[in-house]
């Protein structure tokens, strides 16, 4: 169930960072599923491409990544009960909100948004982490 991810060596090489050996993209605790912060996918978006991608594309990429992980966990983004979004500048708040509102209605997950100083990927404008409530065996095919 848990997949292991590490920061891409190429992103790490740009900074004085050595990726952690492992941490999971998600961790289940009873019906709750904790998802590590999802950001731009370095594999799908090489660094130069990522740098050109704006907040709208990156927000959508984060939410799609959450969707992918939660689908694998037997649920979907509709199971999210709490999300925290980390921007690097509140100037992006408008674009981020526009895209966010295409995915989530006002009765969607509780949400907290903050602007931080730095994110792990040097080109990242946003990371989103979330907690979902997925009752196990609700999807017997999984």
Partner 1 sequence: MGPFVKTAGMVGLDPATGQLVAGGAPGEFRQILANLGALITENGLAWSDVMSATLYTTVFHRFGELNEIWDAAFSATGPLPARTAVGVSQLPLGAQIEADFLFYSVADESAGGERRTA
Q: Enter the tokens of residue 4.
A: 């292991």
Compare residues 51 and 107 and give the one whose CB is closer to partner 1. 51
CB closer to partner 1, 107 vs 117: 117
| Minimum distance, C-beta of residue 32 to partner 1, in the bound complex (Å) | 7
CA pseudo-torsion sign 86, 73, 19, 46: negative
> In angstroms, what is the minimal distance from the CB of 85 to partner 1?
11
CA dist., res. 89 & res. 48, Å (int):
20
β-strands 126-133, 26-29 pairing: unpaired
How many chain residues bind partner 1 (CB under 8 A)? Answer: 33
Burial of 27 (0-12, 13-18, 19+ CB in 10 A): middle
Bridge-based pairing state of the strands 126-133 and 32-38:
antiparallel
Per-residue binding string, partner 1, 48-87, x by CB under 8 A, is ------------------------------------x-x-
Least separation in angstroms between CB 42 and partner 1: 16
**Which residues sit at the interface with partner 1, rule CB under 8 A?**
2, 4, 12, 15-27, 29-30, 32, 34-37, 84, 86, 116-120, 127, 129, 131
């Amino acid at each position: 169930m848990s997949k292991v991810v590490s920061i891409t060596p190429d992103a790490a090489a740009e900074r004085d960072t050595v990726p952690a050996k492992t941490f999971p993209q998600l961790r289940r605790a009873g019906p709750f599923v904790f998802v590590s912060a999802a950001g731009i996918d370095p594999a799908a978006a090489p660094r130069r491409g990522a740098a050109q991608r704006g907040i709208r594309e990156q927000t959508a990429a984060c939410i799609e990544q959450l969707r992918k992980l939660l689908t694998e966990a037997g649920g979907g983004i509709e199971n999210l009960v709490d999300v925290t979004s980390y921007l690097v500048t509140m100037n992006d708040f408008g674009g981020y909100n526009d895209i966010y509102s295409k995915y989530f209605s006002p009765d969607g997950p509780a949400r907290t948004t903050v602007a931080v100083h730095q994110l792990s990927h040097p080109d990242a404008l946003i990371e989103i982490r979330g907690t979902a409530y997925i009752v196990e065996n609700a999807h017997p095919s999984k």
